[in-house]
Every structure is written in C-alpha cells, then in structure tokens.
C-alpha cells in the first residue's frame, strides 16, 4: 500500500502504482555477471523489488550502492538491508551518483541498475541523471533499465549504445529491459 500512497503524493517521481514483479526483476539481473562485479549501483530501489535479487545473487564482497530519493522508501530499505555488509543505502539523488561512488572509494560502477521512471521525470532531470551515469560507468560499465515501450529508445541513444533488448511478457504491463554501454567517444 505504501507504494500507492507515495505515488499519489509524488506521481512523477514515483512513476508507478505498484512495485515491479518477480519476473521483470529476474530479467533485470540477467545481463549482470555477478562473479566479476565489484560495485553495483541501483537507482530508485523503491521497496526493493530488484534489490532482493541483487542481495541474493551478488558476491558478498561486491559493494551495492542503493540511491533512493524518497524518505519513506529509504526507511523501508534500511529496515530490510541496513545490517548487510557492503550494502550502502543513500537517501539522495541518482544525479549525484559520482559523489557517492567517490565516497565509497570507487571510480566507476560495473553495473548501474535503474528503476527510475524516465517516462514521467522532467526531461532536464533525466538529462542530468544520464549525463552523470555516463561518467559513473566509465567505458566498461553497463546501464540496465526497463521501459514499458520503446518510445524513449532514441532518447537513450543520445547518451549510450543500446547493446541488448530483453522482453518480459510476464509483467503487467509487459516490459523491455534495455542494456546500454558507453558510446566510447
Ligand atoms: C517506479 S519506482 C521503482 C521502484 C522499484 N525499483 C521497482 O521497480 O519496483 C521509481 C523509484 O525511483 C525513485 N526516484 C525517482 N527519482 C529519483 C532520483 N532522482 N534519484 C533516486 N531515486 C529516484 C522513486 O522514489 C521510486 O522509488
């Protein structure tokens, strides 16, 4: 229920009335090589749909940095994951990802997983987030997000090369997982 309440208070920032389902969450994990990842960042974990899978699958030494702007969700994340080693919960903004990586002693993230609602966020906010993401993932990192349609594909292509689209039909509505990398310019 907390999701609906938060959505009603801040519809553009929350962007969905319910958390992502298990099938989509599993599909979001598919592109990640958990054996080699040193640091994984998650934007907008909300109540932890993707985080549950990340903490279950990641190597104990892999650092996981969760960046969530909503105070209520942050409290829930702290209750669920606050005691876990190498899991860092930040009440802050995805656009400041480089500052948070730096605070924990990392230059780049191997994977940045996003649950952010790019369709409803103001375009200038999306621009700040995606520009910061390019620097935060460096040349080798991957940026993974989901969309309910491919209308924003060209928007993402201004920032990244899209290397893969994974379709998940067992989600309401069906979704695409987009895997992106640096354009290498
Ligand atoms: C659609 S919900 C997704 C939650 C979860 N990842 C899921 O899939 O169920 C979007 C989340 O992004 C968060 N969010 C929106 N803008 C943000 C920003 N600039 N930085 C960090 N989190 C943000 C919202 O508070 C919300 O928790």
The contacts of residue 92 (CB under 8 Å, 6+ apart) are: 67, 68, 69, 100
How many domains in the chain?
Answer: 1
| Pocket-testing residue among 5, 28, 41, 46, ligand 1, by greatest number of atoms within 8 A of Cβ | 46
**Residue 118 Cβ contacting ligand 1 at under 6 Å:** no
CA distance 69 to 150: 26
**Residue 21 Cβ contacting ligand 1 at under 6 Å:** no
Residue 95 CA, closest ligand 1 atom number: 19
CA distance 16 to 18: 6
- Residue span of the structural domain in which 25 resides: 2-182
CB 78 within 8 A of CB 55: no
CB 50 within 8 A of CB 42: yes
Residue ranges, the chain, pLDDT below 50: none
CB 150 within 8 A of CB 176: yes
Distance (Å) of CA 158 to CA 56, 68, 114, 142, 180: 33, 25, 17, 16, 11
Ligand 1 centroid from CA 125, angstroms: 13
Q: pLDDT at position 47, please?
A: 97
The closest residue, in CA terms, to atom 4 on ligand 1 is: 46
CA distance 99 to 94: 10
Ligand 1 centroid from CA 91, angstroms: 11
Of 142, 55, 128, nearest to 98 by C-alpha is 128
Residue 44 CA, closest ligand 1 atom number: 12
Residue 16 CA, closest ligand 1 atom number: 1
Q: pLDDT at position 185, please?
A: 60
CATH code for position 28: 3.40.50.150
Task: Assign 106 to helix, strand or coil.
Answer: coil
**Residue 73 Cβ contacting ligand 1 at under 6 Å:** yes
DSSP state, residue 73: H
Q: pLDDT at position 126, please?
A: 97
> Per-residue pLDDT tens for 27-72?
999 999 999 999 999 999 999 999 999 999 999 999 999 999 999 9
């Amino acid at each position: 229920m907390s999701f609906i309440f938060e959505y009603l208070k801040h519809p553009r920032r929350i962007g969905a009335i319910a958390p992502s389902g298990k099938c989509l969450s599993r599909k979001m994990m598919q592109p990640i090589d958990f054996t080699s990842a040193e640091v994984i960042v998650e934007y907008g974990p909300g109540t932890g749909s993707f985080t549950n899978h990340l903490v279950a699958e990641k190597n104990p030494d892999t650092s996981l940095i969760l960046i969530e702007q909503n105070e209520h969700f942050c409290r829930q994340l702290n209750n669920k994951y606050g005691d876990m080693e190498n899991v860092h919960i930040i009440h802050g903004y995805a656009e400041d990802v480089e500052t948070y990586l730096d605070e924990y002693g990392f230059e780049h993230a191997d994977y940045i997983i996003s649950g952010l609602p790019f369709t409803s966020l103001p375009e200038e906010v999306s621009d700040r987030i995606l520009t910061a993401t390019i620097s935060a993932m460096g040349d080798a990192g991957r940026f993974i997000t989901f969309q309910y349609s491919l209308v924003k594909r060209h928007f993402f292509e201004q920032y990244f090369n899209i290397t893969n689209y994974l379709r998940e039909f067992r989600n309401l509505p069906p979704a695409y997982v987009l895997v992106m990398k640096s354009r290498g310019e």
